[in-house]
Structure 1
Amino acid sequence: MPLPTTHFPQLDVTTIQPERMHELKTYAKEMVGTAPKDGSSTGIYRNVQSFKELQKDFKNVKTLHDVFQSGLAINPKGPCLGQRPLQYDPVTKTTTAKDYEWQTYEQVAERIKNFGCGLLKVHHDATSSDRHFHLGVYAVNTPEYAIADFAVHAFSLTTVALYDTLGAETSEYILNHSEIPVIITTIDKIEILNGLVAKCPHLKAVILMDGNLNIQTPEVQTSLNLGRQGLLRRGVKLFLFSEVEAMGKAKPRRFTPPQPDHVAAISYTSGTTGTPKGALVLHKNLVAYLRAHYDAGIAARSSDVHISYLPLAHIYERGVLSTVILHGGAVGFFRGDTALLMEDIGVLKPTIFASVPRLLNRVYERIIAGAMAGSAFKQALFNRAVAAKIANLESTGALTHPFWDPLVFGKVKTLLGGRIRVVISGSAPITSGTLKFLKIAFCCPVVEGYGSTESAAGATIAFQGDHDPGHVGPPISCNEVKLVSVPEMKYHATDKPHPRGEIWIRGANIFGGYYKDEEKTREAVTSDGWLKTGDIGFIDAKGRIHIIDRKKNIFKLAQGEYVAPEKIENIYQKNNFVAQIYVHGDSLQAELVAVVVPDAEYAIPLARENGILPENTPNPGPTANNAPPHPLLQKVCESEKMKALLLKEISKTGKELGLKGFEFVKAIHLDAAGFTMENGLITPTFKLKRNEAADRYRPFIDAMYKELNSKAAKPKL
């Protein structure tokens, strides 16, 4: 019997009911006759809902400009963008946040038109040109950010987002590489831009978001005047966002909407080594991804409320915000301070919560800490409630419980406002235990997706009712997947019981290449359109993808930053105290740890000077190649004081040689034996065998993470 369906008349889309999708016997299938005879890859897998033809768009929505027009048509008088106004008290010199205030879709549409027209005038006046240009955005999420983005789409321009946390060097590179003539920013970035404009010849105008800025405060007035004067001295004009809107209202123009193949945004990846790469995200990429949401069971409704706090510079948040706007939902913005995020959530009471494992782990820890801080009776009650709900989830799939929810989990639900109907986790893996707990704690589906900037944020999404652990769901309906054998890592498409290999993706969501970098584009995408993800996975009998490894020695930490451990090891090995080092991290941890083999020539004198070894301990001299460890080195390595000393020393080296914050190791284990061919940790060409090292040092790695996590300060949410 066919599963029941849901129809979305405004978009002319019919899909299986979200809560019933997991009842499909198979989620994705291999297309017969598509596997090569040599076994170098699997055949092509497609979602069973789009097996005959991949989805790519909607009947009347082909671009991001169409996305806003869809929301406007569905809910013209409804709330579109909201924020909490900040009220300044000149007597106490304090600022307080009021309740959310909303602009309707009609009001936002007017502002989009006015700002877009004003933006074109600012660009023309500054450059004497009417050619296509890139608009830079260097700010946290605000209503003005979204208005500017949709204004860019309305006039076939391109947005280039700079992460709010970027340093000056990377910001300078992006500004020059993408040749940005106009940039939108917030007042706290004016000083940074003042320091950059002399090195960025393309930049001619800066637009300051003033929608929630207390212009009347002395501090803001001073910053504004100094910023304006500093920029003007360098030939760059400063405008307020409201001024640009007024300019556009006085000189209106007709929209010049984009085509699906036009570049909507250049999204610079965080990078692993060297300079970041600018991914060309096309309108059709994001629209295909939005269409696939419906076949994954996470389509938005006009009654939905989303809190926008994940960086809009990241394609993940752009996709979520666009999904909500597409169906006329409401988007409320946080105040820009993650320490106040939970307060904003409590006031907004969202229905959709898109997040990342780093924050969801903090929510989990806060719930557990709160429960364990109670009396012994309350702790026992909480543990019993969790056990009962998990057992109920595993046996029936139910996320709610008539007894335990009102007694225990009602208060837990209020952490996210009390109205959440779905939680979406992306950007990095989340542990199955945390995933399961959050489902029963918030009494709603918590779904995990997998993708990248190059796939417009998504490639797979798990179904709501699928509670099996360890997978990220089937391919979404706009793309197909195959696994390509990686023999050097012993992963083969012919492996049993499941094929294994590098995950390749193809579909309308695959990006248009890297800006000004054909070589990197060819490395990432094959001539016939397959994106090589670099991730190793297997496909189970239901067609779900499990991520199990990384092809390159590059991994993503829990907060989403990419790490190239060999680069970090090379830097730390410049320190005289380090003979060998293995840097370890994974996507379930937020920090790096390392195994360090000290150089006896330098480590033993340091130990003697710090009372770890006797004062009469002689200097050992240089260590000969292939020599056994120095007899005293084992004692040195057992010293906690020595660990602290060496961690301080290598951190100093990392700082001197420009490591980023997330690239610093936070704990080390000292090992006297070292990495040798005899113990199987290095190759004949003296390259570290990373998998073998991870296995050998696993107990110490686990111990370091346990200690780091136990020392972590109580999360501020």
Structure 2
Amino acid sequence: MAYLFKEPAQHIRRSIDKHLPMDREKTSDAIPIPNTKEPGFSSVYRNAYSPDNLIGVPYPSLDTLYNLFEYSVEVNGDKRAFGTRVKNADGTFGEYVFEDYNTIHKRRNNFGSGIFFVLQNNPFRTDSDAHKKMDYNPSSTDSFVLCIFSHNRAEWALTDLTCVAYSITNTALYDTLGPESSKYILELTESPIVVCSKEKLRGLIELKRDNPEQLANLITLVSMDPLTPHDEPLKDFARENRITLFDIKQVEQLGEINHLPTKPPKPETNFTISFTSGTSGAHPKGVVLTNANAVAGVTFMYATREFKKAPVFYSFLPLAHIYERATIQFALSAGAAIGFPQSPSPLTLLDDVKVLQPNFLALVPRVYTKLEAAIKSQTIHNDDKPMLKSIFTNAINRRLELQSQQDHIQPSHLIYDRVSTLLRKKIGFGNVESVATGSAPISPETIKFLKASLNIGMAQGYGLTESFAGCCVSSTFESNPGSCGAISVTTEIKLRDIPEMNYTADDEGGPRGELLLRGPQIFKEYFKNPEETAKAIDEDGWFHTGDIARINSNYGNRLYIIDRVKNFFKLAQGEYVTPERIENCYLSQFPYITQMFCHGDSLQTYLVAIVGLDPTTISKYIGHRFHDKIVNLEDVAEFFKNPKNKKILLQDMNAAVSKQLQGFEKIHNIDVSIEPLTLEKGVITPTMKIRRPIATNYFRETLDKLYEEGSIIRNGNL
């Protein structure tokens, strides 16, 4: 959109700051729109703050990611932008060293110019349609696709910014999808260039060597790490397979010499194609997301986040997924200092956080449950230090009571605030004010405990790749945690009846059914996949998420995700069972397990499950329940091969869910280990969702064996 008068960035900044943070009392609830209820559907719901229209931009002129970053550079130019830890001579890591926004802006322009130079002057360029898109043409709207392949690092985010500035559509490759999916994505997108970390180079060259025709368009690799004279054999290997190899500094230098003006995108310009791993095991689908989708996602965060004027973020979740990319785009527009991990390993999280001292963290449930277990073992379960245990038990119980009294309020306590501060500092959370969780279910009890023990806010959100990450999020101090908050100002929702699962719009307490989304955040299409696009988006523009939601009419019409469409099966006696709801119930009520795959069969009358134990708490459970001591985790699985021990564990699990589940929903036999569900086995997605068809096949022998053993609780008092 063009404007006759351009407002100064500082004026925009003052206008935005004047309204932030937004009053959560005004944005935390939703309302049904009158006269929108139709047979088989609920009413349409919108955020109470803006019931008459959806909001897609934070400010009129900030309508693309390019304009958001240009604005941010103008008001935050000399502030810290991207931070990387210095590696010491002994292999350890020191402090974070930052580049400011002005430096990143300059590097972005040089890198973009250099990308076009190395592609246009590439000796392996052909006259293919894909290679014709590599020409720099300011008026063209047809872009080639650039792939990014590495763990989180400053160069990843720099490449993303570069693609925005030069209207280059990008996508991400990631290890968890495997080389076959990388080949599929490269072939489907006809990508001519991959920007990657150095350790990925050889594998990518080998991939082209083994698939020369399918990957004929791949002609350039750019290493995020420096290339040295020792890498000449690698360059020769690349040339033998019709690929030129550069490092990022070389490309930036070439761009500085051969400068090209930026090519700003329009709102409808494609920003990225984000490939989702899915739960079915089929090829990943490419979600096409425009600048308008992305800016609406950033707008959602402006409307819901409470942050300091100089926020510090830690980029932990994979940038290959939309959750982290949305967070980073918001952070950049807000002038945040963004620190990147020292390595791909998640084990360095707390070490990095202690050094960086962020005030906000976006993580996933699996990280929070491990943190919860670690804190409990040092506080309320610390039998070795009874006085410390007593102090924290009293502090946490009192804070739980205070936090349950009113929404949006962080209650204070003269003594217990100091206790929480000491705990936060010990684990590196000294400056953390709030955290967010998403991408998978989390127990409300985990949220309550972390908020109470650390005295911080914790918000739970809901979103998908197709909605450019979050489209609703709870208040950081929701008095009764468990909801995903009200639908945001950017999106409207309605629920579709699923009568075969007993979910309808007329259910008591609020409608239940499949969640449908519509608005500026919702994706455009699946890449080169009109069939799947037509299945997902109906003729009225509603995206059918496949998630079952409940709208709590007694609590601000806030959203709860409770199930998945088609995620159910019938037992031999005719009852329908929804495994995800059952799994979430066990995981939230029995703290000694962290994984569960619930399975049923139409020829059987009961359920069985694959169970993963919590490595940080299971030893204490065994000591308390069995009066036995196990030192090595490897011995835990062996311990529960004993039928008597396994039966007691299962009885305790079932006792914990006795009020939440009906008899036919309870598990009758289990296979026990520490971490049975892993990415390497292919049974879960990178966001920890179970790929049920694959998991069923993978564990087929184990499941059959459980049914052969029969129910181990049939004679129990359950």
Shorter-chain TM range is 0.7 to 0.9
C-alpha distance in 2 between matches for 1:71 and 1:339: 32
1:180 maps to 2:191: yes
SS in 1 for 2:121: helix
Q: Which residue of 1 aligns with 2:118?
A: 122
1:21 maps to 2:24: yes
C-alpha distance in 1 between matches for 2:114 and 2:436: 36
Post-superposition Cα deviations, 1:91-140, rounded to whole Å, max 9, x if no partner, equal xxx42322111111111100000000001111212336434211100101
1:234 maps to 2:241: yes
Post-superposition Cα deviations, 1:544-574, rounded to whole Å, max 9, x if no partner, equal 01111111228xxxxxxxxxx99xxxxxxxx
1:521 maps to 2:533: yes
1:76 maps to 2:77: yes
Q: Structure 1 residue 294: deviation in Å? A: 2.6
Match of residue 331, structure 2, among 304, 307, 324: 324
Q: Which residue of 1 aligns with 2:317?
A: 310
Match of residue 190, structure 1, among 201, 215, 224: 201
C-alpha distance in 1 between matches for 2:419 and 2:152: 37
Match of residue 13, structure 2, among 10, 22, 26: 10
Match of residue 152, structure 2, among 120, 137, 141: 141
AA paired with 1:370? Q
1:204 maps to 2:212: no
C-alpha distance in 1 between matches for 2:680 and 2:460: 39
Match of residue 365, structure 2, among 349, 352, 357: 357
SS in 2 for 1:546: strand
Q: Structure 1 residue 363: deviation in Å? A: 1.2
SS in 2 for 1:116: helix
Q: Which residue of 2 aligns with 1:671?
A: 707
AA paired with 1:387? N
C-alpha distance in 2 between matches for 1:192 and 1:100: 30
C-alpha distance in 2 between matches for 1:321 and 1:180: 24
1:110 maps to 2:110: no
C-alpha distance in 2 between matches for 1:99 and 1:466: 35
Q: Structure 1 residue 16: deviation in Å? A: 6.9
1:450 maps to 2:452: no
Q: What is the RMSD of the two structures over their aligned residues, measured on CA atoms?
A: 3.6
Q: Structure 1 residue 447: deviation in Å? A: 0.6
Post-superposition Cα deviations, 1:588-612, rounded to whole Å, max 9, x if no partner, equal 5764445699x9xxxxxxxxxxxxx
Match of residue 33, structure 1, among 22, 35, 45: 35
Larger radius of gyration: 1
Tell whether the 8 Å contact from 1:596 to 1:671 is kept in structure 2 after alignment: no
1:48 maps to 2:48: yes
SS in 1 for 2:486: coil
SS in 1 for 2:176: coil
C-alpha distance in 2 between matches for 1:240 and 1:231: 13
Q: Structure 1 residue 67: deviation in Å? A: 2.0
1:498 maps to 2:507: no
1:370 maps to 2:378: yes
1:290 maps to 2:331: no
Change beyond 3 A, Cα 1:697–1:269: farther
Q: Structure 1 residue 420: deviation in Å? A: 1.0
C-alpha distance in 2 between matches for 1:497 and 1:417: 38
SS in 2 for 1:385: helix
Q: Which residue of 2 aligns with 1:545?
A: 559
Tell whether the 8 Å contact from 1:637 to 1:672 is kept in structure 2 after alignment: no
C-alpha distance in 2 between matches for 1:293 and 1:390: 27
Q: Which residue of 2 aligns with 1:680?
A: none
Once the two structures are overlaid, the 10-residue window that deviates more, 329-338 or 409-418, is 409-418
C-alpha distance in 1 between matches for 2:713 and 2:55: 44
1:279 maps to 2:290: no
AA paired with 1:243? Q
C-alpha distance in 2 between matches for 1:361 and 1:699: 31
AA paired with 1:465? F
C-alpha distance in 2 between matches for 1:438 and 1:274: 37
Tell whether the 8 Å contact from 1:46 to 1:477 is kept in structure 2 after alignment: yes
C-alpha distance in 2 between matches for 1:477 and 1:655: 35
Unaligned runs of 5+ in 1: 1-6, 555-564, 567-580, 600-635, 675-695, 704-717
Tell whether the 8 Å contact from 2:403 to 2:477 is kept in structure 1 after alignment: no
Q: Structure 1 residue 339: deviation in Å? A: 1.4
Q: Which residue of 1 aligns with 2:448?
A: 436
C-alpha distance in 2 between matches for 1:106 and 1:226: 37
AA paired with 2:320? A
Change beyond 3 A, Cα 1:285–1:114: same
Q: Structure 1 residue 227: deviation in Å? A: 2.8
Identity percentage of aligned residues:
29
Once the two structures are overlaid, the 10-residue window that deviates more, 67-76 or 162-171, is 162-171
Q: Which residue of 2 aligns with 1:246?
A: 253
Tell whether the 8 Å contact from 1:300 to 1:324 is kept in structure 2 after alignment: no
C-alpha distance in 1 between matches for 2:368 and 2:79: 30
C-alpha distance in 1 between matches for 2:706 and 2:270: 50
1:259 maps to 2:273: no
Q: Structure 1 residue 460: deviation in Å? A: 1.2
AA paired with 1:62? D
Q: Structure 1 residue 459: deviation in Å? A: 2.0
Q: Structure 1 residue 405: deviation in Å? A: 2.3
Q: Structure 1 residue 152: deviation in Å? A: 0.7
Q: Which residue of 2 aligns with 1:389?
A: 399
Change beyond 3 A, Cα 1:647–1:362: closer
Match of residue 347, structure 1, among 342, 355, 369: 355
Q: Structure 1 residue 300: deviation in Å? A: 4.6
C-alpha distance in 1 between matches for 2:26 and 2:193: 51
C-alpha distance in 1 between matches for 2:419 and 2:644: 50
**Count of residue correspondences:** 594
Tell whether the 8 Å contact from 2:26 to 2:48 is kept in structure 1 after alignment: no
AA paired with 2:107? R
Once the two structures are overlaid, the 10-residue window that deviates more, 53-62 or 374-383, is 374-383
C-alpha distance in 1 between matches for 2:438 and 2:338: 19
C-alpha distance in 2 between matches for 1:81 and 1:161: 20
SS in 1 for 2:13: coil
Question: Normalising to structure 1: TM-score of the pair?
Answer: 0.76
SS in 1 for 2:300: helix
Q: Structure 1 residue 379: deviation in Å? A: 1.4
C-alpha distance in 2 between matches for 1:647 and 1:390: 35
Unaligned runs of 5+ in 2: 1-9, 127-131, 136-142, 571-576, 588-592, 604-640, 651-669
Post-superposition Cα deviations, 1:462-487, rounded to whole Å, max 9, x if no partner, equal 12332223211100100000011111
AA paired with 2:92? T
Tell whether the 8 Å contact from 1:524 to 1:532 is kept in structure 2 after alignment: yes
Tell whether the 8 Å contact from 1:593 to 1:665 is kept in structure 2 after alignment: no
SS in 1 for 2:310: coil
C-alpha distance in 1 between matches for 2:71 and 2:257: 27
Post-superposition Cα deviations, 1:243-295, rounded to whole Å, max 9, x if no partner, equal 00000000001111111111100000012221000000111011012112232
AA paired with 1:121? F
AA paired with 1:457? A
Q: Which residue of 1 aligns with 2:521?
A: 509
Change beyond 3 A, Cα 1:41–1:582: closer
Tell whether the 8 Å contact from 1:74 to 1:327 is kept in structure 2 after alignment: no
Change beyond 3 A, Cα 1:441–1:227: farther
C-alpha distance in 2 between matches for 1:300 and 1:264: 26
1:380 maps to 2:404: no
Q: Structure 1 residue 637: deviation in Å? A: 12
Q: Structure 1 residue 302: deviation in Å? A: 4.1
SS in 2 for 1:292: helix
Q: Which residue of 2 aligns with 1:708?
A: none
Residues 395-414 of structure 1 correspond to what in structure 2 (within 5 A)?
395=405, 397-414=409-426
